[in-house]
Amino acid sequence: MDQEGAAVHRPEAMSETAGYSAVELMRDGRRVEIRALRPDDRAELLAAIGRTSTQSLFRRFFAAKRGFTDQEIEFFLHVDFINHVALFAVMEEDGRPAIVGGGRYIVLQPGKAEVAFAVIDRYQGQGIGTALMGQLAEIARAAGLRELIAEMLPENIPMLKVFEKSGLRLSTKREAQVVHVVLKLF
Ligand SMILES: CC(C)(COP(=O)(O)OP(=O)(O)OC[C@H]1O[C@@H](n2cnc3c(N)ncnc32)[C@H](O)[C@@H]1OP(=O)(O)O)[C@@H](O)C(=O)NCCC(=O)NCCS
């Protein structure tokens, strides 16, 4: 960490994060892998978006999203694991792995990144959001970040619960249609 609290950019930390993988147990006992996004995840990512409800997409993007442009998809996939870190939750479905959720952070300024999450509806409430949050927070802390921020809709109780269960110091500020969340990593 430098004097202004910026992340120390260690190339070895980037490649460690790019190869990240951990197995967690969901609430119903099934296994879910939390792993780093891979460059060849495009088709699986599109499939996961296609399985996510309009309401969940609205809560994630604050807009009625019916589809995404190629540019948006490239942005989701173009992750450098320093300023933009993305993890996917992967489940075995019919004998093959499927992306069922994801979480990412994007560094906005030295020491501070914005986090966002989405889990496809049929897998919500199984602890995947909590697992993604915990692992992203660990990666952010190891990268020397000080603070994670998020914006969420006021009615988004599951997201608030995930933030509360992270164990990080949390503060919230409500504005008209949005709640600003600040989580302290140190
Ligand atoms: C917010 C979100 C990522 C949480 O992921 P998740 O995997 O469901 O989270 P968890 O299973 O770890 O659950 C967190 C808490 O929310 C609760 N919860 C999850 N889904 C719920 C639902 N549909 N209704 C009520 N509570 C719910 C869980 O029971 C849990 O609380 P508990 O531990 O007290 O039981 C997920 O609900 C989602 O993708 N929502 C749509 C996108 C979104 O809102 N993104 C946030 C933008 S920053």
- Residues 85-114 have pLDDT tens digits of 999 999 999 999 999 999 999 999 999 999
Residue 81: pLDDT over 50 = yes
Selection from 106, 170, 93 nearest residue 140 by Cα = 106
Residue among 25, 55, 124 whose CB has most ligand 1 atoms within 8 A, to mutate: 124
Distance 9 CA to ligand 1 centre (A): 32
Residue type, position 10, single letter: R
CB of 110 sitting under 6 A from ligand 1? no
Question: How confident is the prediction for the chain on average, in pLDDT?
Answer: 93
Residue among 27, 159, 165 whose CB has most ligand 1 atoms within 8 A, to mutate: 159
* Among protein residues, the one whose CA lies closest to atom 1 of ligand 1: 159
Rounded to two decimals, what is the model's pTM? 0.94
